[in-house]
Chain A
Amino acid sequence: MTIKKKILLIDDDKDFLFATKLILEKGGYEVFMAEDGKTGVDMWKSINPDLAIIDMMMETWGEGFSVLNKIRATDTGKETPLFMLSAVDLQGPYNSFEPPPEFPKVNKVLHKPIKADDLLRMIAQELSGK
């Protein structure tokens, strides 16, 4: 029996979490969901996932970045692949956002909505590359 790889989803939109969970489970992953940044970081520490997908904009703009920082600061979070999710409208008021130079590594930035096969392909690539 093979052990399923674990993926942590952090997003404050329940529906988006659920839809993405269905896709990932179909792809053969074990999925954990967190609806806010704090829970996300706690879950990261307790379940030790193989990959995490973090929404950029949760309760506050930039919440996703602080989650990213906290995860990267943990012992297990230094090298684990992390994807950022964004529905940020690049023409909108946030288009001027630029990550600071010392910004922790993001393996991929995904734009919502994300196609099921694209998502599964990118995750597979990232996890096999290790």
Chain B
Amino acid sequence: MSNTPEKPLILVIDDEEALRDGCRQVLEKCGYAVLTAEQGDEGIKLARERMPAMAFVDLKMPHMSGMEIIEILARDLPDIVLVMITGFASIVSAVEAIQKGAYDYLPKPFNPDQLRALTKRGLDHRNLKIETKKLKEEKEQMTKNFITFVSHEMRSPLVVIRQYIEALKEIAGDRFDKDVREIIERCRKRIQNLEEMVEHWLDISRIENGTLAQQKASLSLASIISRSVEEMTPLCKKKGISLETSISKKLPQITGDAESLVRVFTNVIGNATKYTPNGGKITVKAQNDEYYITVSIADTGRGIPSDKLLLIFEPFFRCGGKNDKQSSSGLGLTFCKKIMESHNGSIAVSSKEGEGTTFVLTFPASINTSKNNSGQVC
């Protein structure tokens, strides 16, 4: 049930009876419900049971200090607004209280106006905080719903259109002339590109909201690279580009998801093939130092103009603009960047027009897996 029609509940924890009564009178007059406690443990118990919206806590009390109470309440009741009442208003203790989760502090002696103003401000702050949290949750839910929507509602018509085109192609052979078959083939390619774009966009959205299925395990980057190179060799051969590798034999293991890493490498190599002319060369080199493994993928292609270099990881950016003859979703490198980030790695690019482009992928080396699993030392 919602608490909104009820009076906001305010807890005052102070060992001074006069102060407790004073606060109660002022706050009750303002229309709030008030609870009071003389001591820390009693106050904490009350707070856990009644979940007040706001609590005023005296810093200096026998048994349990206000600082401790604030720490406990901030941990137990995440939405509570805590105010430290302090008799000796030192900045040091105020800062400490705020670090421990207090919203503000109120130096003694204070007058009813100050108490009322701070209470109003504190409750407004709480409402905003709760509202923000709700909006954030709603936004996340919307992203999730949208992903589900795209993956089901948008893909199914695409699938059907592609199936029709397959059927057309199958029967076109003897019924249509060459021009018509050419049109069918072009439609097929464009639809396929659209489908890939939807796929890539989905992948990126999933990385962003953490729902991409990645199975991280300790793995050898050398085998990932050779798998990717193997996959790309036929395309390179077809385009008359030589694909060479030079991989250090002592590469340490990394922690990662094999499938998405293969996609990163085939993506970057695939990109290189698009912009490297017949007779060109793509070189994949992997080496490491104590902490990092770096893999460079260098081509002898036409290079990327320096003003565009910064933009190539941006979604839907294409070097050649709309007239780029190369079919691409404009999301391949964005995907690579996100995957590298999800592996605590990075991807960088350098290029010289007319000479070629080099992508450098950096991975943190995992010294040994058990160490990695036991958490990071910061």
Contacts and interface: CB of A to CB of B under 8 A. Distances in A.
B77 interface: no
Given A87-B155, A93-B148, 19 more contacts: A15-B160, A15-B163, A15-B164, A16-B159, A19-B163, A22-B170, A22-B171, A26-B170, A87-B156, A87-B159, A89-B202, A91-B206, A91-B211, A91-B212, A113-B159, A113-B160, A114-B163, A115-B166, A116-B170
A80 interface: no
Interface string A12-37: 01011011101100110000000000
Given A22-B171, A91-B212, A114 B156 contact: no
Contacts of A116: 166-167, 169-170
A78 interface: no
A22 B167 contact: yes
Nearest to A14: B160
B148 to A, nearest CB: 7
Contacts of B148: 92-93
Nearest to A117: B170
B162 interface: yes
Interface in B211-269: 211-213
Most chain B beta-carbon contacts within 10 A, residue among A19, A23, A112: A19
A26 B171 contact: yes
B68 to A, nearest CB: 45
Interface of B: 148, 151-152, 155-156, 159-160, 162-164, 166-167, 169-171, 202-203, 206, 211-213
B331 to A, nearest CB: 15
Contacts of A91: 151, 202-203, 206, 211-213
B167 A113 contact: no
A95 interface: yes
A113 B156 contact: no
Most chain A beta-carbon contacts within 10 A, residue among B148, B152, B212: B152
Nearest to B160: A15
20 contacts: A13-B160, A16-B163, A18-B167, A19-B164, A19-B167, A20-B167, A22-B167, A22-B170, A23-B166, A23-B167, A23-B170, A26-B171, A89-B151, A90-B213, A91-B211, A91-B212, A113-B166, A115-B166, A116-B166, A116-B167
Nearest to B158: A113
Contacts of A26: 167, 170-171
Contact of A113 (B151, B152, B163, B203): B163
A114 B155 contact: no
A113 B163 CA distance: 5
Interface residues of A, number: 23
Most chain A beta-carbon contacts within 10 A, residue among B156, B170, B213: B170
A13 B152 CA distance: 13
A23 B172 CA distance: 11
Interface string A100-127: 0000000000001111110000000000
B212 A19 contact: no
Most chain A beta-carbon contacts within 10 A, residue among B148, B160, B171, B206: B160
B251 to A, nearest CB: 29
Given A13-B156, A112-B159, A95 B213 contact: yes
A92 B151 contact: yes
A117 B170 CA distance: 8
Nearest to A25: B171
Contacts of B170: 22-23, 26-27, 116-117
Contacts of B160: 13, 15-16, 19, 113
Contacts of A89: 151-152, 155, 202
Most chain B beta-carbon contacts within 10 A, residue among A13, A20, A90, A92: A92
Nearest to B174: A26
Most chain B beta-carbon contacts within 10 A, residue among A13, A89, A114: A89
Nearest to A113: B162
Contacts of B152: 89, 92
A90 B167 CA distance: 25
